[in-house]
Amino acid sequence: MITYNAQAQTFTLHTKNTTYQMAVHPTGVVQHIYYGRRLRDCDLRGLVRGADRGFSPNPDEAGRDRAFSLDMTPQEYSTCGVGDFRLPSIAFALPNGSHTADLRYCGHAIRAEKYTLPGLPAFHGEGGTLVVHLEDRAARVGVDLYYGVLEEYDLITRAVRVVNRGSEEIQLCRCASLCLDFLRADMDFITFDGRHLAERSPARAALLPGVRSVGSVRGASSHQHNPFVVLCEQDADEDRGLCYGAMLLYSGNFEAAVERDQYDGSRLVMGIHPYHFCWTLAPGACFDTPEAALVCSSGGLGEMSRQFHRAIRNCLIRDSRANVRKPVLVNNWEATYFDFNKDKLLSIAKEAAALGVELFVLDDGWFGERNDDNSGLGDWRVNTDKLPGGLEALTPELEKLGLSFGIWVEPEMVSEDSELYRAHPDWAFQVPGRKPSRGRNQLVLDFSRQEVRDHVYGQLKEVLSSAPVAYVKWDMNRNLTEVWSAGLPPRRQGEVFHRYVLGVYEILERLRTDYPDILIEGCCGGGGRFDGGMLYYTPQIWCSDNTDAIYRLQIQYGTSFCYPLCSMGAHVSAVPNEQNGRSAPLETRGITAMSGAFGYELDLSKCTPEEKQEIRRQIETYKRRWELLHCGDYYRLTNPFENGPYTAWEQVSQDKREALVSLVAGGAQAAPPFRLLKLKGLDPARDYRVNGGEAYGGDALMYAGYPLPLMQGDYAGLQLYLEAIE
């Protein structure tokens, strides 16, 4: 709900459980007033006070009022060069060489529908829009602040449109999607950081004076830092405390920065990273920022996560199967790598079908002259030496087994040893006069150029139209270097990084439109582009190239703070694990992978009869419990980074009639102590039967705990299914 009080000039946004208020100051500055627990309609302007502070200048509109300064007032969108020395939200270079940006209120609009963004991902669903119009009168620049309110999901979204209303070009040098000011700084800042094979580990620290920032300049949101951050009260935990989650729906260079200022206020600014960003705005042209999404939870980090999970599942992911069970798949990569032929693939497929697998995915090596990772990228035609007759001959054989077919592609990349590169070397990112850097011995195609996108998509369309393809895994196996485009003049090279991301989004949208029944899974060396932007186009993302079940407990734990389990691609792989040599029991590997988009990545023909029986049981369990696993409310019961005796998590149905508890123990102990596991989210007034046996009260399970059995061996796994007794 969005309301405007004309007398007080306040705007108030209400969601089911939160209130967000801003006000127009007499100077025209739009002040941020409040964001927190839901309040009755009231005027909260008295929360913001001023004082005469040395070295905090006063704007001209304040006259002789030395108590008002941009340097200490909370704002909805911070400016630069006019007296606010804290983190700016916007900066532009004007024809006269100045870089000053000074914004004042000039109107607003309230709409009954949630806004959309051309060429960019955005949340959708029932909700309203507030647009606050600002302008820099001297520069003749308009800035529209967009607020979307999805009341039922406690979600507020932010986006910005900049319009050049002058008669000359200007250069937009910084343009954040979100600025959020707080009248306090006694908070912790949580980021989700890591590296390839170890993504999204939570890092938490108290705000100290100055600026702390995370971001990416790699051309993708990155394995190293995720475009999701949290500000929370210092005593906040899973179950209590005020928490603010902020997610940027963007898959390229980003920055999330928080500043604790001189008067113990704090400011969060989030958006496209200003590194190598400079967008030319011709007269009359506009620029739209990516969307940012906010959740405020007064019930701790767990409640915040569940709010994001519901909103992402229902209002971001657009695939018609967002809340439908995905097929159980087997991927041939770790079974064959590049060394395969039709017979070898069919032998894996026959074993898979007999065990209950539903989808066979052909990974890297099926195209061009691709026998290793040094050649062939860019030549998207079937290698008929490996697959005589092409996909048209393979897929009928799979259909006879009851399997649908999926395929791996890496459209953004090119090998120098390829027909495409030999014909169009200028289509790859390279700086004239410099030798290129290589990652995985490949270069990056310039997706900022329409002719490049059209050529690549034309090839993909031929492949996808040649056979019944049910699934596409879209990979990206290196970051961007030597980012220079032959398609733009020198003065506009600062647009390339962003235009590249827009190009990726355009092709994915075309793919979704032309092939609406294909399930697309995103990938970037695993989790290097796991963000809300990609989830708008790909309803699931390969969570990490690290398939070790024990390491995955940490990766999936960190990912779960924002992203729902149904979005995390997770597979059972062979042991010893290829990344670290660890061996975990097959049951444990299944339990870990089951809390994601479930599948297998191993040669099933090499499994023992006992292993095949366990795989069959896992698949049956997943099919029976998928709705609970993927659509239930998710609770983190332990923190795997604390090296406790076990890692445990829980899914509870919306009606609280059933729950599934999963637990993975650490290393084996001699004479281990008896342990109790306290559950969450149950109905305290109901009784629950555990694994079809003994019954316990919901209150007892939550407040006293469930007595865990003694578990033998390293990394033993356990699942408890709870069903309410009616």
The catalytic residues are 475, 545
Single-letter amino acid code for the residue at 221: S
Residue pair 194/223 in contact by the 8 Å Cβ criterion = yes
Residue labelled with tokens 């054989």: 397
Q: Tokens for 448, please give them.
A: 């900022």
Do β-strands 329-331 and 597-601 pair in parallel, antiparallel, or remain unpaired? parallel
Residue 63: CB atoms within 10 A of its CB come to 11
Report the distance separating Cα 708 and Cα 250, nearest Å. 43
Report the distance separating Cα 115 and Cα 502, nearest Å. 19
Report the distance separating Cα 140 and Cα 249, nearest Å. 29
Residue labelled with tokens 């200007």: 170
Strand partners, 209: 260
Nearest to 187 by CA among 254, 241, 228: 241
Nearest to 562 by CA among 324, 326, 313: 313
Report the distance separating Cα 68 and Cα 50, nearest Å. 6
Residue pair 527/559 in contact by the 8 Å Cβ criterion = yes
Report the distance separating Cα 32 and Cα 180, nearest Å. 8
Residues whose CB falls within 8 Å of the CB of residue 166, separated by 6 or more in sequence, listed in order: 139, 140, 141, 283
Residue labelled with tokens 């690549």: 456
E strands, 492-544, in order = 519-522, 540-542
Handedness of CA 419, 423, 426, 431 (dihedral sign): positive
